[in-house]
Amino acid sequence: MDKLDAMTLFVAVVQDGGFSAAARRLGVSAPVVTRAVSELEAAMNVRLLVRTTRVVKVTEVGERYAQDCRRVLGELQEIEQAASGTHGAVKGKLVVSASVMFGRLRLNAVVLDYLKQYPETEVECRFIDRNVNLLNEDVDVAIRIGDLPDASFHATPLTTVRRMAVASPAYLKRNGTPRQPKDLAQHTLIAATGVEPGSEWKFRAGSGVDAATVAVPVRARLATNSNDHAIVAASEGLGITRVLSYMVEEQLAAGELVEVLAKHAPPAVPVQALQHQGLRASRKVRAFIDLAVERLRG
């Protein structure tokens, strides 16, 4: 079998998690896929996949090889597009990932603008509250909030967001407004565990970049992994919650919520667009990121 065809089939097995699933998606028989992977393993004298009766797992060598295959196949596609004169066109399917709320409140508008501007494109949105693996899950662009421990992907800054403690005016009228982080011990707290997964909230003790950090233990009357749930509870006067600034812009503008302890808020965190192709990113990826920068930056 042609080496490039075999590489395509192998990448499909890794992506779909099995030979049968890859075969169905590509419209070939399962034995053809199995033979292609076996030929690759025999040619290199390595084990790429571990097969059992119930599951197919990728070995460490197979993981690296799959990444290299994706890069080679992607570069081949770029070469073919350039030769056929279509390299400059923004076209094809784009897979975009973000957290559920950021996708709904911020990225959805970018996606709709992108589809309107580039009629030869398709977009698959995967709005999910976990960090996807761009390579293994074939994601073109992932939006991440916070500092990035892994520098292996190309990151484009989009904007920043802040952690904000908020409460309804009615709650503050009944219970008073906290002036210092330690005052939260006397208040009813609502923990949005999707934003603050631990058992404490961190604040700045003073102003300036060198201000010390103060950790406040959180004993929540309500703990929820739904940010929407925490915001609704706070809006209805049940207590103080802490979420990211973009999540409550509408409620703040409408006066349903107000920020407390603003001068003690921790520093803003970055929102970045990740993609793994770097400067060689395809036109569809570059066009989407450029539009996201235009719509979200500032």
Residue 84's pLDDT band (boundaries 50, 70, 90)? low
pLDDT top residue among 276 and 36: 36
CATH number for position 203:
3.40.190.290
Q: Is 194 helix (H, G, I), strand (E, B) or coil?
A: coil
* Dist. CA 65–CA 82, nearest whole Å: 26
The answer, yes or no, to whether residue 164 has pLDDT greater than 80, is yes
Q: Are residues 63 and 12 in the same domain?
A: yes
* Dist. CA 51–CA 38, nearest whole Å: 11
Mean of the pLDDT values across residues 89-94? 86
Q: Are residues 142 and 279 in the same domain?
A: yes
Q: Are residues 54 and 106 in the same domain?
A: no
- Tokens representing 236 are 């209805």
> Of the residues 84, 104, 122, which one is the last residue of a structural domain?
84
CATH number for position 285:
3.40.190.10
Residue 149's pLDDT band (boundaries 50, 70, 90)? low
CATH number for position 25:
1.10.10.10
Domain count, the chain: 3
> Of the residues 26, 50, 84, which one is the last residue of a structural domain?
84
For the ranges 71-75, 132-136, 212-216, the one whose mean pLDDT is highest: 212-216
Look-up: residue for tokens 């559920």? 100
Helices (H), the chain: 3-16, 19-26, 30-44, 60-84, 100-102, 108-117, 169-175, 227-235, 249-254, 283-296
The answer, yes or no, to whether residue 78 has pLDDT greater than 90, is no
Q: Are residues 209 and 78 in the same domain?
A: no
* pLDDT given for residue 52 in this prediction: 77
**Which tens digit of pLDDT belongs to each residue from 208-246?**
556 788 899 999 999 999 999 999 999 999 999 999 999
Domain containing 152 equals 92-157+270-296
Mean of the pLDDT values across residues 10-39? 88
CA R_g for the chain: 24
Q: Are residues 168 and 261 in the same domain?
A: yes
**Which tens digit of pLDDT belongs to each residue from 166-205?**
999 999 999 999 999 999 999 999 999 888 887 899 998 8
* pLDDT given for residue 132 in this prediction: 85
Mean of the pLDDT values across residues 18-22? 87
Q: What is the reported pTM?
A: 0.69
Q: Are residues 175 and 227 in the same domain?
A: yes
Look-up: residue for tokens 């920020």? 259
Q: Compute the residue count for the chain.
A: 298
Q: Are residues 255 and 277 in the same domain?
A: no
- Tokens representing 56 are 């197919």
* Dist. CA 244–CA 100, nearest whole Å: 13
Q: Are residues 286 and 257 in the same domain?
A: no
* Dist. CA 242–CA 167, nearest whole Å: 9
Q: Are residues 141 and 277 in the same domain?
A: yes
Residue 150's pLDDT band (boundaries 50, 70, 90)? low
Q: Are residues 249 and 182 in the same domain?
A: yes
112 within 8 A of 236, measured Cβ to Cβ: no
